[in-house]
Amino acid sequence: MSAPNIETIVSLAKRRGFVFPASEIYGGLGSSWDYGSLGVELANNIKQSWWRWLVYERDDIEGLDSSIIQNRLVWKYSGHETTFSDPLVDCRACKGRFRQDKLQDVKCPNEQNLCAGSGKECDLTEAREFNLMFRTTVGAVAAEDDESALAYLRPETAQGIFINFANVLNTSRRKLPFGIAQIGKSFRNEVTPGNFIFRTREFEQMEMEYFCRPEDAPRIHQEFIDGFQTWFQSIGISAENLKLYEQTKEELAHYAERTVDILYRFFPERTDENAQFDELMGIANRTDFDLKTHSKKPEDTEGKRINSDSTEDLSYFDEARKERFYPYVIEPAAGVNRTVLAVLMDAYTEKTNEKNETRVILKLKPELAPIKVAVLPLAKNKPEIVALAKQIKKDLQPAMRAVYDDTGGIGKLYARQDEIGTPFCVTIDHESLEDDAVTVRDRDTWEQGRVKISELKGYLQKRLS
């Protein structure tokens, strides 16, 4: 079982402190969200899992953290200034503004009137291109529209990697093939954001650019397509809720030779099976476009430099073959926020207890759970029990994220921890003072067992891994 729809997660996320609407006390800010105390832990755990899997467990990937605001020329030569736009249409009837290519997904704000027979039909303008990059100015400028100070908030982390290719190559003494990984915020002035954290204007990406010889690119591309499906399953997303989508020639970005998206079943409530799925990540073969376009040397067919501003040539010299060329790039690009949403949806289950009450259990992989263990005193008016519980929490904390909670009856406390995905609850009772043992309760089975306090840390560590 997974969540029946995104709304279920929106309500759980707000109730339990995963995600809140941003600027809520001022009426919110369209499709902006803040991560609460549990959400930030979950997102961090996802990012750490991704980083560990790519940067630590492999031997061919380096990390990077580049600036959000770069020289405007980066976005000129990447093509974003001219091509990073969506087709925009206005409706003269409802005054709404929509993406022409997503009209089937939007709800008319005037639907009520239409249904009531106001006679107002949709009346769309011609589409015009709307650039998605957020503009800003750098430094103390005299006028807001001073072109010389114009800069953008990055719409993807990828370009920061391409422009640092030579820096990383030279300092890490790498040889092809190798990759550079980066996690960070990106910004897009989306025309129609929505569906909770699925599409927002500020979001986080986990991107990796893998540089290789052109003839190796198709094979490596396929390896990452397979590898990422396995990674998503390793963090708890079930295979039946994942699907591949091969972009058509018409859909491919101008630089891409082949792109495969990994889709997740974000909309299980939709009757059309295909419409249930939407993009979780994209994996592109970007050819040699990026390193060439940011290099000073390449020339067009008329012998003119394609980049007259770059001071660097980002080609690669293969020592063994005595050959110079521009590496191909395989790019697995995932969204942190969409992964958080997919993980929450997939972990969502409901269970009925013996009193016939329905309980939510978030069956998160222990690795991702915001809290690994909750330590609960059975009698909070008994100072010896409280002191022992607090001591146990303190002893566990260096090894795992532990919390102490005495703000309710034990049934309530268990239910709260189940709902936020805490794999284990440890209960301290009167007997604990006699036998130096505690009760450990399993989130998924609700089974309980007695464990010696001296063995507790090792026992939990073993079960958490």
**Residue (41 or 86) nearer to ligand GAP, CB:** 86
Strand partners, 403: 374
The separation between the first and the last C-alpha atoms of the chain, rounded to the nearest angstrom, is: 23
| Sequential DSSP letters for 177-204 | SEEEEEEEEEE---SS-BTTTTB-SEEE
User: Rounded to whole angstroms, how far apart are CA atoms 426 and 432?
Assistant: 11
Contact status: 158 vs ligand GAP (CB under 6 A): yes
Contact status: 334 vs ligand GAP (CB under 6 A): yes
Number of alpha carbons in the 13 Å side-chain half-sphere of residue 449: 12
Contact status: 207 vs ligand GAP (CB under 6 A): yes
Tell which one of 160, 179, 335, 370 touches ligand GAP (CB under 6 A): 335
Which of the stretches 6-14, 118-126, 334-342, 365-373 binds ligand GAP when contact is defined by CB under 6 A?
Answer: 334-342
Contact status: 203 vs ligand GAP (CB under 6 A): yes
| Minimum gap (Å) between residue 259 Cβ and ligand GAP | 8
Contact status: 221 vs ligand GAP (CB under 6 A): no
Which of the stretches 53-61, 93-101, 200-208, 364-372 binds ligand GAP when contact is defined by CB under 6 A?
Answer: 200-208
Q: Residue 85: phi, psi to the nearest 5?
A: -140, 165
Tell which one of 281, 347, 371, 413 touches ligand GAP (CB under 6 A): 281
User: Rounded to whole angstroms, how far apart are CA atoms 261 and 47?
Assistant: 19
Which of the stretches 64-72, 93-101, 223-231, 333-341 binds ligand GAP when contact is defined by CB under 6 A?
Answer: 333-341
Q: How far is CA 315 from CA 309, 441, 445, in A?
A: 16, 58, 56
Contact status: 105 vs ligand GAP (CB under 6 A): no
Contact status: 200 vs ligand GAP (CB under 6 A): yes
| Minimum gap (Å) between residue 100 Cβ and ligand GAP | 17
| Minimum gap (Å) between residue 174 Cβ and ligand GAP | 21
The H or E element spanning position 243 is strand 242-246
- Please answer whether residues 300 and 36 qualify as being in contact, where contact means their C-beta atoms are separated by less than 8 angstroms: no
| Minimum gap (Å) between residue 24 Cβ and ligand GAP | 19
CA 179 to chain centre: 19
Taken in order 25, 194, 130, 135, is the CA torsion positive or negative? positive
| Minimum gap (Å) between residue 326 Cβ and ligand GAP | 18
Which of the stretches 98-106, 326-334, 354-362, 371-379 binds ligand GAP when contact is defined by CB under 6 A?
Answer: 326-334
**Residue (21 or 391) nearer to ligand GAP, CB:** 21
User: Rounded to whole angstroms, how far apart are CA atoms 35 and 39?
Assistant: 5
DSSP 3-state of 363: coil
- Please answer whether residues 352 and 415 qualify as being in contact, where contact means their C-beta atoms are separated by less than 8 angstroms: no
**Residue (161 or 420) nearer to ligand GAP, CB:** 161
**Residue (208 or 374) nearer to ligand GAP, CB:** 208
DSSP 3-state of 428: strand
| Minimum gap (Å) between residue 193 Cβ and ligand GAP | 6
Size of the site for ligand GAP (CB under 6 A): 19
User: Rounded to whole angstroms, how far apart are CA atoms 48 and 55?
Assistant: 10
Closest CA to 164 of 81, 82, 63: 63
Interacting residues with ligand GAP between 337 and 396 (CB under 6 A): 337-338
| Minimum gap (Å) between residue 205 Cβ and ligand GAP | 5
For residues 405-431, one letter each, b for 16 or more C-beta atoms within 10 angstroms of the residue's C-beta and e for the rest, the string is bbeeebeebbbbbbbbbbbbbbbbbee
Closest CA to 334 of 153, 247, 204: 204
Which of the stretches 11-19, 101-109, 275-283, 411-419 binds ligand GAP when contact is defined by CB under 6 A?
Answer: 275-283
Range list of β-strands (E), 378-431: 402-404, 424-428
The H or E element spanning position 157 is none
Interacting residues with ligand GAP between 282 and 321 (CB under 6 A): 282
Which of the stretches 50-58, 80-88, 195-203, 454-462 binds ligand GAP when contact is defined by CB under 6 A?
Answer: 195-203
Interacting residues with ligand GAP between 171 and 190 (CB under 6 A): 188, 190
Which of the stretches 48-56, 198-206, 212-220, 420-428 binds ligand GAP when contact is defined by CB under 6 A?
Answer: 198-206
Q: Catalog residues that contact ligand GAP under the rule CB under 6 A.
A: 156, 158, 188, 190, 199-200, 203, 205, 207, 279-282, 331, 333-335, 337-338
